[in-house]
Amino acid sequence: MKNTVITFQEMKKKGEKISMLTAYDYSTAKLIDSAGVNSILVGDSLGNVVLGYPDTISVTMEDMIHHGAAVSRGAENALVVIDMPFMSYQTSVYDAVVNAGRLMKEGRGQAVKLEGGVEVCPQIKAITQAGIPVVAHLGMTPQSINVFGGFKSQAKELEPAKKLIRDALAVEEAGAFAVTLECVPAKLATIVSNLLKVPTIGIGAGAGCDGQVLVYADMLAMFSDFSPKFVKHFADIGPAMKAGFEAYDKEVKAGTYPAEEHTYAMQDAVYDEIVKYVDTLMK
């Protein structure tokens, strides 16, 4: 059954945990969807994982639309949330609504996610009023990496923790239907999860959140540029892929691949005629 914002609300009410993973392409989205994961985030971690940037700053609207549309085609039941990239909503409320609209119309997402608290509440309100569900993202917000001075856990001290609580209440009030909490102390995330009526989706925020999200390439050990403390490898696909690539390379170079069973046959009579034809060409 298709997961919607209502599914998220109901799961929170019933105390059922929400699962979310990132994806950036059709085939991965199909696999995640068929595994029963509730939601797929087309994260702007696309920048790191797929495009090879050191951060998410350079990711464009076109990137998000292109990959969002591919994921949407593969997600039958999972709720597809598409990240609003850096500077697609910070500049103005108008830009935020127009760009959120493009992610829905062209990217075929069912919701958008944007980073920030009180300062982006006007954007959250306007996007929501335009009929587009919004996930807010608090804590370690990667688009602000240059303000944080790196990928660092957030809200560990009293004042930043109080600010995070105020931000969470404000984004809920502005209309966000879920709040991502990234790299914040587990105890704080539990407090926020208990305070909010909408679900929290944690990443590096402990088990007290209403749901969890991970970058799929992290949890499958496919991405190795950096590995945050909260990442667990649920399968060793990265090493398995590398072993497969090495075996292919070896067989191609040894001439053992492709074998007979990987080739298309031709009738002997046709082959004989071709040989004759080539002979005539060469004369």
The contact set with ligand KIV (CB under 6 A) reads 22, 41, 43-45, 83, 137, 180, 182, 203, 213, 215
Tell me the β-bridge partners of 155: none
Q: Which residue is nearest to ligand KIV (CB)?
A: 43
Q: What's the Cα-to-Cα distance from 53 to each of 47, 48, 57, 59, 226, rounded to whole Å?
A: 5, 5, 8, 9, 12
Residue 83 beta carbon to ligand KIV: minimum distance, rounded to whole angstroms? 5
- Rounded Cα gap, residues 159 and 162, in angstroms: 5
- Rounded Cα gap, residues 107 and 44, in angstroms: 13
Pair 155, 163: CB distance under 8 Å: yes
Dihedral angle computed from the Cα positions of residues 198, 172, 175 and 16, in that order, rounded to the nearest 10 degrees: -10
Q: Which is nearer to ligand KIV, 160 or 228 (CB)?
A: 228
- Rounded Cα gap, residues 231 and 215, in angstroms: 9
Residue 84 beta carbon to ligand KIV: minimum distance, rounded to whole angstroms? 10
- Rounded Cα gap, residues 64 and 85, in angstroms: 7
Residue 281 beta carbon to ligand KIV: minimum distance, rounded to whole angstroms? 57
Residue 226 beta carbon to ligand KIV: minimum distance, rounded to whole angstroms? 13
Residue 113 beta carbon to ligand KIV: minimum distance, rounded to whole angstroms? 6
Q: Which is nearer to ligand KIV, 154 or 180 (CB)?
A: 180
CA nearest to 111, candidates 193, 234, 191, 18: 18
Q: Which is nearer to ligand KIV, 170 or 201 (CB)?
A: 201
**Element at 33 (helix H, strand E):** helix 26-34
Residues with catalytic roles: 182
